[in-house]
């Protein structure tokens, strides 16, 4: 189908305002300044019972997290959240509105992770940070008012890549921590960049093939990293024993096919999976303001979290 009308209007407005992800030869620092000056979508920051910024132990010094606690009886479920931005862009402020909304709607404590960014910290630094933060949440669940048996990981785009890899790492490292669910919203799972959706949607739909090449260039040391399972989880030889998953994709997104292929790999390995493609829309649609299709996807995410985590 064609782009649905709200997405078409928003895409046209963003492109007219210069809010695209085509960075050309732009240095990462300049791209960050550009995105912060022209954010994709901050949304309205909902009131929430408590927000706390903390520093926790990380693999290379202290690591920042922002903890969102809703009005709900303890012990609550917990969601460890990883922001998008191609491993190069993004921060806690950029995902603040989404995390507030998620915590309130799902009645979960949300711990948003300020992982190190590439190229200053290339693979595997960001995912090691995310794994360390997830372990910290599990180890400190009682102090956070959380149930350590009801911890999910979630993220969008590159954050969904990290949310897919953390359960792999946890399984491979003795099953610690135990995770109950993974929410992967238009995840990066394949470093080959050679799918039908890349060919169909590689330009003109906000996230482009050129921008993905830019992100991968800054994230990895060399092409060998591109196929490492902790960078591209579709290359993991065995996906058995991972937590149930919700995978969200968008019709007009270069990442569509690799997200759906990863869902099929999970399903074939015996992992319970729900995979939903939202037609007529583009990458980042869930966090774009005032899109009804994004609200439907957000409601699906919340319903899945409530059903799985209680």
283 is catalytic: yes
Distance of CA 187 to the CA centre of its chain: 7
Integer Cα distance of 97 and 214 in angstroms: 27
Task: Report the 3 state secondary structure along 194-226.
Answer: CCHHHHHHCCCCCCCHHHHHHHHHHHCCCCCHH
Query: Residue 30 is inside which H or E element, if any?
Result: helix 28-37
Give the burial string for 165-190 (b: 16+ CB within 10 Å, else e).
bbbbbbbeeeeebebbbbbbbbbbbb
Which of 96, 129, 190, 253 is an active site residue? 253
Which of 157, 197, 211, 284 is an active site residue? 157
Q: Torsion angle, CA of 99/100/104/109, rounded to 10 degrees?
A: 60
Integer Cα distance of 264 and 274 in angstroms: 10
Q: Radius of gyration over alpha carbons of the chain, in Å? A: 18
Which of 95, 257, 283, 284 is an active site residue? 283
Q: Torsion angle, CA of 186/254/129/110, rounded to 10 degrees?
A: -20
Q: Does residue 164 sit in helix, strand or coil?
A: helix
Q: Which residue has the tokens 């238009």?
A: 186
Decide if 57 contacts 113 (C-beta within 8 A).
no
In the sheet that 50-58 helps form, which strands lie side by side, from edge to edge?
A: 50-58, 61-69, 109-114, 76-82, 146-156, 181-185, 245-252, 273-282
253 is catalytic: yes
157 is catalytic: yes
Decide if 63 contacts 57 (C-beta within 8 A).
yes
Decide if 226 contacts 122 (C-beta within 8 A).
no
For the annotated catalytic residues, the residue numbers are: 157, 253, 283
């Amino acid at each position: 189908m064609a782009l649905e009308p709200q997405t078409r209007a928003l895409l046209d407005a963003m492109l007219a305002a210069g809010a695209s992800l085509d960075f050309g030869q732009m240095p990462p620092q300049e791209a960050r300044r550009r995105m912060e000056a022209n954010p994709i979508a901050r949304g309205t920051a909902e009131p929430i019972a408590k927000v706390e910024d903390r520093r926790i132990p990380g693999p290379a010094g202290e690591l920042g997290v922002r903890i969102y606690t809703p009005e709900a009886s303890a012990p609550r479920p917990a969601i460890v959240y990883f922001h998008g931005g191609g491993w190069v862009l993004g921060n806690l402020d950029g995902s603040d509105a989404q995390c507030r909304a998620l915590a309130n709607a799902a009645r979960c404590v949300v711990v948003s992770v300020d992982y190190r960014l590439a190229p200053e910290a290339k693979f595997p630094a960001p995912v090691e940070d995310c794994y360390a933060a997830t372990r910290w949440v599990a180890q400190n669940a009682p102090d956070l008012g959380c149930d350590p048996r009801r911890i999910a990981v979630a993220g969008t785009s590159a954050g969904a890549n990290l949310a897919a890899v953390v359960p792999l790492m946890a399984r491979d490292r003795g099953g610690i921590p135990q995770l109950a669910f993974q929410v992967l919203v238009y995840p990066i799972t394949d470093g080959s960049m050679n799918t039908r959706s890349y060919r169909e949607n590689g330009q003109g739909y906000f996230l482009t093939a050129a921008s993905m090449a830019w992100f991968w260039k800054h994230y990895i040391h060399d092409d060998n990293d591109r196929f490492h399972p902790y960078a591209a989880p579709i290359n993991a030889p065995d996906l058995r024993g991972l937590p149930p998953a919700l995978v969200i994709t968008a019709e007009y997104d270069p990442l569509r096919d690799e997200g759906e292929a990863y869902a099929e790999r999970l399903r074939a390995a015996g992992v319970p999976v729900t995979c939903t493609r939202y037609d007529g829309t583009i990458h980042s649609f869930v966090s774009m303001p005032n899109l009804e299709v994004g609200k439907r996807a957000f409601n699906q995410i919340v319903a899945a979290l409530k059903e799985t985590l209680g």
